């Protein structure tokens, strides 16, 4: 769970100077799963969802979740443009977000500094007339800066070709002012503030090689599909009502998926498999059948036949399906269970206590206690044991006679 709490989300942009990217990111996410579109497909009513999400919706309801017009899985078409957008956005996202967050921190820092005038040079220079001491400091700061710029002008070649990146302070002493250096948000190299933007081009150039690759792969799948001549076959929908249990079971066996359970479960499992399979057919890089089988297994454990939470007859009783949650039940009734256990313990303790002194009478009335008694027999020290031995004797005689 912890891991999922670090999931990237469109709200990551909020609070940064790029908060307007939040709605952009939301629009690149599926409205059903709220994740980035995964194999996006478009419905005949022109709404886009992940292939698997819309297939699951259509197989439960037969309607578009956005506008509720009826639709069929057969009419879904891949939406490559959206896939492209998502891929490109995802490639750029970490770096853009990194920049936005660095900028946010910088702005916050500046604000903090502004609250402490002595440390803030620029702000101070505006308020300079009031505090002469600070003015001195700020003018010094200005001096160093101007000398710095002069220096960089003196060595034009270096500042143009190498965008003022300082790796080692010993290489060029002229570039080591104590402050005024900022870290590149991407590679954390220290450099002058003015140089950051120029320097960032280095990173964008670095990042470019994968870009044409993703663009090229846009055309990839269809070409690959053609050249291989073997796109995976889609599974047809089945009209379950005309199939008998046995033939449905055989179908599942032929598909290579589990075939146990009552017909309801078989239907649901087949539907889930069909959705997984057909959504995979929409993928640029289809997964292997083994991966799909493991996904079906997860379904089996969370919603299918192995789900502790649901009876196999789910769809026949909607109330059960929606309301009953075994985990919740056990956590809600945890106290009850503990109380029952405590009661049971108390009872057995009470029995033990009552059996030790008056063992004879108890033993007579409830022969079932014999095991407890014998167990107790071993535990107490000598004093109790003498008394108890009588009881166990009588007990034994009863056992023999009965």
For another protein, which residue of 173, 246, 322, 386 counts as binding (CB under 8 A)? 322
- Is residue 250 a contact residue for another protein (CB under 8 A)? no
Determine if 76 is a binding residue for another protein (CB under 8 A): no
Among 37, 83, 78, 32, residue whose Cα is nearest residue 59: 32
Within its chain, how far is the Cα of 42 from the centroid?
Answer: 25
* CB contact at 8 A, 363 and 393: no
Nearer to another protein, 76 or 124 (CB): 76
- Give the integer Cα–Cα distance in Å for 51 and 65: 13
Closest distance of CB 88 from another protein, Å: 21
Site stretch for another protein (CB under 8 A), options 31-39, 282-290, 337-345, 346-354: 31-39
CB 195 within 8 A of CB 160: no
Q: Is residue 345 at the binding interface for another protein, with CB under 8 A as the rule?
A: no
Residue of the chain from 65, 117, 177, 198 that contacts another protein (CB under 8 A): 65
Residue 389 structure tokens: 């031995």
The window from 49-57, 143-151, 152-160, 213-221 that contacts another protein (CB under 8 A) reads 49-57
Q: Can you give the C-alpha Rg of the chain in angstroms?
A: 37
Q: Which of residues 269-308 bind another protein (CB under 8 A)?
A: 272, 295, 298-299, 301-303, 307
Burial label for 192, CB within 10 Å (0-12, 13-18, 19+), is buried
Strand 181-183 versus strand 77-78 pairing type = unpaired
Q: What is the DSSP letter of 78?
A: E
CB of 239 to another protein, least distance (A): 18
- Which among 344, 352, 338, 216 is positioned nearest to 284, based on CA atoms? 216
Task: Determine the size of the site formed for another protein (CB under 8 A).
Answer: 42
Residue from the set 11, 204, 316, 389 that interacts with another protein by CB under 8 A: 11
Quote the CA–CA distance of 356 and 373 in Å, as a whole number: 8
Residues that bind another protein (CB under 8 A): 1-2, 4-5, 7, 9-11, 14-15, 31-35, 53, 56-57, 60-61, 63, 65-66, 68, 272, 295, 298-299, 301-303, 307, 309-310, 318, 321-323, 325, 327-328, 331
């Amino acid at each position: 769970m912890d891991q999922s709490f670090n999931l990237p989300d469109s709200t990551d942009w909020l609070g940064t100077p790029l908060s307007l990217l939040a709605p952009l990111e939301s629009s690149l996410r599926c409205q059903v799963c709220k994740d980035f579109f995964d194999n996006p497909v478009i419905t005949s009513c022109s709404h886009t969802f992940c292939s698997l999400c819309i297939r699951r919706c259509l197989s439960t309801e037969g309607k578009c979740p956005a506008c509720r017009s009826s639709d069929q899985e057969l009419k879904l078409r891949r939406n490559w443009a959206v896939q492209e957008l998502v891929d490109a956005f995802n490639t750029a996202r970490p770096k853009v977000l990194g920049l936005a967050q660095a900028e946010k921190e910088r702005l916050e820092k500046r604000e903090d500094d502004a609250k402490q005038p002595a440390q803030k040079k620029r702000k101070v220079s505006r308020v300079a007339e009031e505090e002469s001491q600070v003015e001195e400091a700020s003018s010094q700061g200005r001096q160093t800066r101007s000398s710095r710029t002069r220096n960089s002008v003196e060595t034009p070649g270096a500042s143009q070709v190498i965008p003022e990146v300082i790796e080692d302070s010993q290489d060029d002493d002229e570039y080591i002012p104590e402050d005024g250096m900022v870290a590149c948000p991407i590679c954390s190299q220290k450099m002058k503030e003015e140089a950051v933007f120029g320097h960032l081009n280095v990173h964008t150039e670095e990042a470019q090689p994968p870009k044409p690759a993703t663009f090229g792969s846009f055309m990839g799948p269809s070409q690959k599909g053609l050249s291989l001549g073997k796109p995976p076959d889609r599974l047809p929908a089945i009209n379950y009502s005309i199939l008998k249990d046995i033939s449905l079971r055989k179908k599942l066996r032929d598909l290579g998926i589990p075939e146990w359970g009552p017909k309801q479960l078989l239907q649901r499992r087949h539907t889930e498999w069909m959705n997984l399979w057909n959504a995979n057919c929409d993928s640029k890089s289809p997964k292997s059948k083994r991966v799909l089988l493991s996904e079906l297994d997860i379904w089996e454990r969370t919603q299918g036949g192995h789900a502790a939470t649901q009876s196999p007859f789910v769809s026949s009783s909607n109330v059960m399906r929606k309301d009953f949650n075994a985990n919740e039940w056990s956590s809600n009734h945890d106290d009850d269970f503990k109380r029952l256990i405590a009661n049971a313990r108390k009872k057995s303790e009470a029995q033990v206590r009552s059996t030790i002194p008056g063992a004879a009478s108890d033993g007579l009335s409830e022969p079932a206690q014999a095991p407890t008694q014998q167990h107790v027999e071993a535990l107490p020290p000598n004093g109790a044991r003498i008394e108890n031995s009588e009881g166990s004797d009588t007990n034994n005689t009863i056992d023999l006679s009965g």
